[in-house]
Amino acid sequence: MARDPLAVLPALEAALDGSGPPLVLPATADSPWLTVTDPGEARGLALIARTSGSTGEPKAVALPAAALRASAEATAAHLGGPGAWLLALPVHHIAGAQVLLRSLHAGTRPFVSSPGPFTAEGFSADVAAMQAALEPGGRRYTALVPTQIARLLDDPEALARAAWFDAILVGGAALHPSLHDRATEAGLNLVRTYGMTETCGGVVYDRMPLPGVDLDIDPQGRIVIAAPMVASGYADIEADGTAARLRSLRPFEEVPGLGRRFRTSDLGSLQDGMLSVHGRADDVLISGGENVSPALVEAALLRALPGLRQAIVTGVDDPEWGTRIVALLQPEQGPEPAPASAPGAPGGASADAAAADRVPDPGTGGGTPAAAWWAGGDVDLARLRSLLSGRLPAAALPRQAFLVESLPERGIGKPDRAAAKTLAGRLASRESRFSGPGGPDG
């Protein structure tokens, strides 16, 4: 089947209305769509999509037509009605595929961004073409990831074009508060989304569940989602050329009156119906006998450190602490980023040694002199820990921190924590200095 997103629309529409066979999303940007010749026990199946594999091997998720329709309807209702969409994400991820599905639901033809890597200049040209083609008065939407938002902020023309959209859905990874504030101050209409392939994409917008979505927190602190958008279950498929056969289905739990229920791997909390996501349960580090959530440490770093663009917190083996908390920090300004991946790394990507090169100190063009948490290309660890003190428990304070020119990513803007752990281990082995008070409370 054709790789062109527009060429696949008729087959996708037929899969949704049941007049054609279900489809399998491409495994990669260069892979073809597959046709499911035998859907087996998956009633009403329309689409099989793969997870990003951020915590292991990607899973094949069986998405029924009813769940995809429920997702499109809830999104349109939340955003103020159906509209025209610009596809700026790869369709082998559910966020990109949903742009096609929402367009079909709205009865509009999606606009597709130019091929090749995302750039602010290319985005400006794509939006200009969309503006020229559309009649005034309709609603306009697109979906981006935080990395793309960051690139738009450095280009005034791209920012002006982006502000034309009635809503920009932002998902794939957590949107840093500083990036959100800069974008909204520039006039971008951002909608922060939370969801996953197993829920047909976003089911929580700006921390509030969409209509029909029931959120709960289980005794282990994990987010549980019951909704009509939840997938049928995990599929075991056998591919042969351009066709696929569904061999078995591991169904999700059915909840009377709510639809199916999916227990996520994310930790979270609910207050007044609003969801806060605290990171993945399987990312939790244990240092000195204390549980440390990398996502909470990353959020504190971004709030506390002026001039910080991104952060990944990970752990390395330590004879005293069990796991030593290490922060990889990418400043807002610095030299051109070095390549961040190399073959043969965990999960197919690893941070290259060049990415660990020190960046210039604030007085030579990088960073912010007022930040005072790094100088001469090195982190002032004592200052960093002081800035974080009171925001985090002592056990969560980083015991090593390194400046990097870029951070490893996988999927659509998601941090590659396996590659980050490898990079942190490499850097930590070069430097034995870390704060040394003698206990979790030291």
Q: Are 259 and 44 in contact (CB under 8 A)?
A: no
The model's pLDDT over 128-140, given as tens digits with 9 standing for 90+, comes to 999 999 998 899 9
Are 89 and 412 within 8 A, CB to CB? yes
Span 166-172, mean pLDDT? 93
Q: Which of 126-140, 142-156, 211-225, 286-300 has the lowest mean pLDDT?
A: 286-300
Main-chain phi, psi angles of 356, to 5 degrees: -95, 0
Q: CB 109: neighbour CB atoms within 10 A?
A: 13
CB pairs under 8 A, 24+ apart, for 131-140? Answer: 131/161, 131/164, 134/84, 138/83, 138/84, 139/79, 139/80, 139/81, 139/82, 139/83, 139/84, 139/166, 139/167, 140/83, 140/84, 140/85, 140/86, 140/164, 140/165, 140/166
**Per-residue model confidence as pLDDT tens digits over 49-79:** 998 765 557 899 999 999 999 999 999 999 9
DSSP-based three-state secondary structure for 168: strand
State the residue for tokens 């948490």. 373
Does the predicted TM-score (pTM) go above 0.85? no
Q: Which distant-in-sequence residues (6+ apart) come within 8 Å of 268 by Cβ? A: 217, 221, 222, 223, 275, 276, 277, 278
Interatomic CA distance for residues 196 and 172, integer angstroms: 8
* Helical segments of 20-141, H only: 65-79, 94-106, 120-133
Residue 6 scores a pLDDT above 50: yes
Q: What is the mean pLDDT of the chain?
A: 84
What gap in Å lies between CA 425 and CA 411, rounded to an integer? 23
Separation between Cα atoms, residue 85 and residue 75, nearest integer Å: 12
Q: Confidence band (pLDDT; 50, 70, 90) for 166? A: very high
Total residue count of the chain as it appears in this document:
442
Calpha distance 198→59 (Å, rounded) = 10
Is the predicted pLDDT of residue 347 greater than 70, yes or no?
no
Kindly state the average pLDDT of the residues 297-318: 89
Helix (H) or strand (E) holding 13: helix 9-17
Supply the DSSP symbol for 206: T
Tell me 33's DSSP state: P
Helix (H) or strand (E) holding 429: helix 417-430
pLDDT value at residue 39: 76
* 437 neighbors 364 (Cβ within 8 angstroms): no
pLDDT at position 272, please? 95
The pLDDT score that the predictor gives to residue 339 is 34
Are residues 39 and 45 in contact, defined by beta-carbon separation less than 8 angstroms? yes
Work out the pLDDT band at 431, boundaries 50, 70, 90: low
Q: Minimal CA–CA distance to 142: which of 95, 81, 80, 93? A: 95
- Going by pLDDT thresholds of 50, 70 and 90, the confidence category of residue 260 is very high
Residue 53's pLDDT is: 62
Across the range 95-102, mean pLDDT stands at: 95
